[in-house]
Amino acid sequence: MQRLIPTLRSDQVDLELLMLIRTVLAGCKEISFRVSQGALGGVLGSTLDENIQGEQQKKLDVIANQLLKSMLLNDTNVRAIASEEEDSIVAAHEDGKYLVAFDPLDGSSNIDINGQIGTIFTILPAIKELSADDPKQFEQSGRNQLAAGYVLYGPSTMLVLTTGSKTRCFTLDRTHGGFLLTNDEVSVPLQTQEFSINMANSRFWFEPTKFYINDLLQGESGIRKKRFNMRWNAAMVGDIHRVLTRGGIFLYPEDKRDPAKPAKLRLLYEAMPMAMLVENAGGKASTGLQDILDITPDGLHQRVPVIMGSSDEVERCCYYYTD
């Protein structure tokens, strides 16, 4: 099986970008080890702190953030980083060619139940006209992403990565510590009979979401004339990994729960990298009204509605929002 670096070399990925991806993955391998130790490594449970978005931080949110942050700040290819767990950006090296944004630990509520969790990251080009500590550097369209990926800490640790062309899967081989290519070209089936949404929010949904999900729930006797199944992992990495593997539609729509936070998922380090992975695997990623990759963030922690997965199904779903 082919190793990661020769695979990326054959894609003509810039050497510096390749080195940077290696740094991100060195952090993820360390997180993977700590995760696998569970209670033995003292990584379970909560801290007493909150992040800037008002979420109580788990110990592993903080540990994963520290590990990635310190490794990335040491990499001279990095100009600045942004993280879910950092209020603002952190400047690194003036001459660094790249910006890295990450969700150090996605699916925090699964940490203590030994469920699926992961790390999501995106790499953008540095903007030399702005200073290294200017958060506006990260205000770039999703189409500017040079690389996007996630590492899923599941029964096996997997990397799903795109550097602009295909979306590929690698599996961490613990015997030698490297990621080996296990799917050279992820391809999301166009159609699906599986949806993924937190149904507990249904009373807060707006009409387009209510009507769409209601049509799916009618099964064979409804206008869709087919039976749909439902899955919800409470970790975007787990849900999107399933969608990339066997198709499906994943939704975290806008709702009326908290007018200050109409959407839940963050654009820069959750929706945007996942959208690139899904699109490069032949799927679609939308807010309902526009492609996620066409949005330019106007803040580091900006939230967006997310609808992504099998392209025929995402298209059908979007009709409900645009009609």
Footprint of Mn ion (CB under 5 A): 55, 84, 103, 105-106
With CB under 6 A as the rule, give the number of residues binding ligand AHG. Answer: 13
**Shortest distance in whole angstroms from residue 106 CB to ligand AHG:** 4
Ligand-binding annotation for 264, yes or no, is: yes
Q: What is the DSSP string of 99-137?
A: EEEEEEEE-GGGGGGT--EEEEEEEEE--TTS-TT-GGG
In which element (H, E) is residue 148 found? strand 147-153
Ligand-binding annotation for 256, yes or no, is: no
- Token readout for 123 is 């790499």
Ligand-binding annotation for 270, yes or no, is: yes
Q: Which is nearer to ligand AHG, 91 or 263 (CB)?
A: 263
Exposure of 56 in the CB half-sphere (CA atoms within 13 A): 6
Q: Which is nearer to Mn ion, 228 or 252 (CB)?
A: 252
Nearest-angstrom CA–CA distance, 305 and 20 = 30
Q: Which is nearer to ligand AHG, 115 or 222 (CB)?
A: 115
**What mask, x for binding ligand AHG by CB under 6 A, covers residues 126 to 165?**
----------------------------------------
Q: Which residues contact 72 (CB under 8 A, 6 or more apart)?
A: 23, 24, 27, 78, 81, 92, 100
Positive or negative, the Cα torsion across 165, 166, 172, 173? negative
User: Is 105 in contact with 111 (CB distance < 8 Å)?
Assistant: yes
Q: Which is nearer to ligand AHG, 174 or 261 (CB)?
A: 261
Contacting ligand AHG (CB under 6 A), which of 27, 96, 107, 309? 107
Q: Choose the contact partner of 235 out of ligand AHG, Mn ion, none; CB within 5 to 8 A by kind.
A: ligand AHG
**What mask, x for binding ligand AHG by CB under 6 A, covers residues 79 to 98?**
-----x--------------
Ligand-binding annotation for 38, yes or no, is: no
**Shortest distance in whole angstroms from residue 109 CB to ligand AHG:** 6
The CA–CA distances, whole Å, from 206 to 117, 201, 291 equal 29, 10, 20
**Shortest distance in whole angstroms from residue 121 CB to ligand AHG:** 12
Nearest-angstrom CA–CA distance, 58 and 47 = 6
Nearest-angstrom CA–CA distance, 212 and 127 = 41
Site for ligand AHG, rule CB under 6 A: 55, 84, 103, 106-109, 198, 234-236, 252, 264
Binding site per annotation, positions for substrate: 106-109, 198, 264
